């Protein structure tokens, strides 16, 4: 199972990859980064990616209700309470959002939330050149990488 550096280097092998980072979306800290950074500053890019991730993760319109299971029905789940992280999801559970995609004139930004054993508060941020990048392939590969990533 790959660690942070191996995962980020694998992300950079995707067609059109300009930069990649692993970001703690609760603090804005870049746990690792490779390649270019949007705006030229890795730390600033990590903070901005964290703000977007946090916004999506903490909004009920984008994240599933804590008491609902996939496939519908609400009974049997528990609400916010003990054993839950700051964003209202259980520690060790799946992240509240799968991924975010932001597009602009010349690039894509894909933020893939990563399940961890502690609090699932990290995401992979991939910056792709729009002309060379393949958004569908990037989503698939980031999902695979997130599943294999080892964080301790």
Q: Which residues 6+ apart lie within 8 Å of 88 measured at CB?
A: 58, 63, 66, 80, 96
What's residue 147's pLDDT? 87
Q: Does 29 or 121 have the greater pLDDT score?
A: 29
What's residue 19's pLDDT? 97
Q: Which residues 6+ apart lie within 8 Å of 120 measured at CB?
A: 85, 89, 91, 92, 93, 94, 95, 96, 113, 114
Domain 4-63+83-148: CATH superfamily is Dynein light chain 2a, cytoplasmic (3.30.450.30)
pLDDT, one tens digit per residue, over 31-86 is 999 999 999 999 999 999 999 999 998 888 887 666 655 544 443 333 333 344 44
What's residue 17's pLDDT? 97
Rounded to an integer, what distance in angstroms lies between the CA atom of residue 8 and that of residue 151?
13
CA atoms within 13 A on the CB side of 107: 15
Beta bridge partners of 18: none
How much is the mean pLDDT over the chain? 82
Rounded to an integer, what distance in angstroms lies between the CA atom of residue 144 and that of residue 138?
10
Q: Which of 81-85, 86-90, 137-141 has the highest mean pLDDT?
A: 137-141
The structure's pTM equals: 0.79
Kindly indicate the confidence band of residue 152, based on its pLDDT and cuts at 50, 70 and 90: low
What's residue 14's pLDDT? 97
Coil, strand or helix at 56: helix
- Number of other residues whose CB lies within 10 A of the CB of residue 40: 8
Which residue matches tokens 């599933």?
64
Rounded to an integer, what distance in angstroms lies between the CA atom of residue 8 and that of residue 12?
6
């Amino acid at each position: 199972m790959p660690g942070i550096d191996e995962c980020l280097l694998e992300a950079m092998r995707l067609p059109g990859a300009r930069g990649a980072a692993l970001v703690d979306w609760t603090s804005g800290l870049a746990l690792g980064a490779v390649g270019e950074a949007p705006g030229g500053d890795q730390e600033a890019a990590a903070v901005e990616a964290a703000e977007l991730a946090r916004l999506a993760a903490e909004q009920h319109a984008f994240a599933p209700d804590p008491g609902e299971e996939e496939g519908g029905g609400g009974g049997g789940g528990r609400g916010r309470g003990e054993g839950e992280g700051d964003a209202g999801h259980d520690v060790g559970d799946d992240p509240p959002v799968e991924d975010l995609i932001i597009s602009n004139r010349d690039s894509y930004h894909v933020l893939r939330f990563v399940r961890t054993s502690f609090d699932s508060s990290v995401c992979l941020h991939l910056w792709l050149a729009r002309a060379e990048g393949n958004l569908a392939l990037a989503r698939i590969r980031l999902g695979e990488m997130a599943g294999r990533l080892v964080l301790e």
